A and B are shown apart, each in its own frame.
Chain A
Amino acid sequence: MDSTRPAIKTRNLTRKFGDFSAVDNISFEISKGEIFGFLGANGAGKTTAIRMLIGLLTPTSGEASVAGFDVFTEAEAIKNRIGYMSQKFSLYADLTVWENIRLYGGIYGLPMETVKAKADDLLKTLQLSDARDKRIGSLPLGWKQKLAFSVAVLHEPDIVFLDEPTGGVDPITRRQFWEQIYEVTEGGTTVFVTTHYMDEAEYCDRVSIMVDGVIEALDTPSGLKEEFKADNIEEVFIELARGADRSQN
């Protein structure tokens, strides 16, 4: 990917379900290697926006490109260049850690030696080497989330999308998780992450806050705090999200 071109670019991207605009004319640019925090209350439209960017949902109108490919016409080309970790744990619980890694390594067309070497590396870093041949379903949630992230970046994608990756995870594991995130950005990977933990928002290079399908604020964490004269992102978030019309789901 051309390093001067944005990793993700949207213009007036909209998704309607009937009369309801889940995502309403959002526009932003994310540059290569950036960690972009995508905040918003439940039901604000974050997941809908992500699903459009990763080619699981066709947008109603607007424009968007991911890794230089158009989401309308080149959704399958995008899929080669991105990794995705969904809100809901979606590796195969009845397969072992290694079998899951092997499957996704194979699907992305990595040579088996590479997959093996990467798996060993990864499990060592995560201190999960003992779990290699355990079924993933039997592991604690924190381990599962770290493994899901590892599988999402196994093929060294240009961009990785993380939808609430740390939901329900303990603080120590969350911290380790973010260390993992930083590590992949050093390799030039762009990270697009949604979260409900405001301390995590502070770790991002830039943060957008979505309210009722619209992006209400977008800046660096310090820029946002300055703009809203707040001490932390949480205050900014509450200030903006309080005005939401959509009831919590």
Chain B
Amino acid sequence: MRTIKFLLQKEFLQIFRNKSMLPIIFVMPIIQLVVLSFAATYELKEVDMHVVDFDQSDLSRQLVTKLQASGYFHLKSRSRDIDQGIREIQKNEVQLALVIPPHFKKDLRSGKSSSVQMNIDAVDGATAGLIQGYGRSIIQDFNAEIQPRATDVQRSGIAAPGMEVIPASWYNPNLDYIKYMVPGILVVLVSMIGMFLSGMNIVREREIGTIEQLNVTPIKRYQFITGKLLPFWIIALFELGVGLLIAYYGFNIPFVGSALLLFGIAAIFMLVVQGIGLFISTITDTQQQAMFIAWFLMVVFILMGGLFTPIESMPVWAQELAMFNPVAHFIKIMRMVLLKGAGWAEVQHLTGLLSLMAVIILPAAILRYQKSTG
């Protein structure tokens, strides 16, 4: 215990003295949390639109106004040439070219159906889907608004009975993407601290040569490893706390579940990612190698972790691989606990998986770490 105390003292002194790492450890995560959370959103903002209006009626103008008034679409240019609209898309000037056909007003007023065409830049499939969804819903709204007037003219009496679906969004009623993103980004941040810093720290000592002086002392393996893991374990949990405060006060993320439960699971999760970092440090000689491997894993973990795209919509093989992805599990747990108020019963299965990973990777890494070389 006493040896560990001296090692911890040394590590903390070094961490707080490292003028280039300290801001990275403490400031960057906070900036990242704030910036990423606002930027990594799936909400549609100000899509530039080109309008080809062949009708030039008050009704067609009303439709365009309605689209603009929604705040999602911005009228950038207009013409009376469909090709012009497509060219604008090609030049990346607009993402949507809306075509309103001739006789649009006349057809609607006379009770006939009319159609408008949305030409969407679908290079980015996700955004294209959103443009389509938002645009369609606004146009349908518009349709419903003018319907009574059309029937007035028609005097046909009853509007066609339709089936209406009324969606209710639970846990995130306004479908606010920040609420969805922030818990996930928090996970990524603590994972990076865990995976990069502790492992990198050991490789750095190997590079400088200071590790040799430690290896000729009677220091025990577990003491050395504890001295390396514990500081970043503490720092990561501290940052998780700061991040949660920012999430709560800055982003109004509902904190429905138990903070104690969350920190308990985070403590286990940290052991998993630190174990991975430690393992990487035992198979590499330079920080560059370690960084590269850690980064590769991190990218896979994030992209397949359900942060940006739901795991449920991945192919089956990818979903099965996600079983081995600790980041995916913790992101899920974070969202469940923070947004839904999930308790132990709901997260015990995932927590069990994380614990299993911890008891496999950590001893494996400690066993691989050798004071002497064979």
Contact = CB atoms under 8 A, between A and B. Distances in A.
Contact of A92 (B2, B10, B219): B10
Interface stretch (A82-90, A165-173, A226-234): A82-90
Contacts of A84: 212-213, 216
A54 interface: yes
A99 B13 contact: yes
Given A56-B371, A58-B372, A75-B372, A108 B217 contact: yes
A107 interface: yes
A91 B217 contact: no
B10 A99 contact: yes
A79 B218 contact: yes
A103 interface: yes
A76 interface: yes
Contacts of B3: 106-107, 109
Nearest to B224: A107
B209 A56 contact: no
A55 B371 contact: yes
B2 A54 contact: no
Interface in A137-179: 151
Contacts of B371: 55-56
Most buried by A among B2, B9, B211, B218: B218
A108 B220 CA distance: 11
A181 B365 CA distance: 40
A95 to B, nearest CB: 6
A121 interface: no
Interface in B213-260: 213-219
Contacts of B215: 56
Contacts of B92: none
The secondary-structure label for the interface of chain B is helix
A57 B373 contact: yes
A75 to B, nearest CB: 6
A12 interface: no
A86 B215 CA distance: 12
B18 A94 contact: yes
Interface in B318-371: 371
A90 B212 contact: yes
Most buried by B among A94, A108, A151: A94
Contacts, number: 77
Tier of interface size on chain A: 20 to 34
Interface in B1-45: 2-3, 5-7, 9-10, 13-14, 17-18
Contact of A91 (B5, B18, B210, B218): B210
Contact of B217 (A57, A88, A94, A104): A104
B14 A58 contact: no
A79 B217 contact: yes
A102 interface: yes
Contacts of B374: 58
A61 interface: no
B208 interface: yes
Contacts of A80: 218
B13 A102 contact: no
Nearest to B214: A107
Contacts of B219: 107
A107 B6 contact: yes
B9 A86 contact: no
Contacts of B9: 102-103
Nearest to B220: A76
B216 A54 contact: yes
A207 B212 CA distance: 26
B373 A58 contact: yes
Interface in B135-171: none
B218 A94 contact: no
B12 to A, nearest CB: 11
Interface in B98-123: none
Contact of B210 (A54, A83, A90, A107): A90
B210 A55 contact: no
Given A54-B216, A99-B13, A107-B6, A86 B373 contact: no
Contacts of B6: 102-103, 106-107
Interface of A: 54-58, 75-76, 79-80, 82-84, 86, 88-95, 99, 102-104, 106-109, 151
26 contacts: A56-B212, A56-B215, A56-B372, A79-B216, A79-B217, A83-B216, A84-B216, A88-B212, A90-B209, A90-B213, A91-B210, A92-B10, A92-B14, A94-B17, A95-B13, A102-B6, A103-B7, A104-B217, A106-B2, A106-B3, A107-B214, A107-B217, A107-B218, A108-B217, A108-B218, A109-B2
CB-based closest 5 A-B pairs: A106-B6, A90-B213, A84-B216, A88-B209, A79-B218
Given A90-B211, A151-B213, 19 more contacts: A57-B372, A57-B373, A58-B374, A76-B218, A83-B216, A84-B212, A86-B209, A91-B210, A94-B14, A94-B18, A95-B13, A102-B6, A104-B213, A106-B2, A106-B6, A107-B3, A107-B6, A107-B7, A109-B2
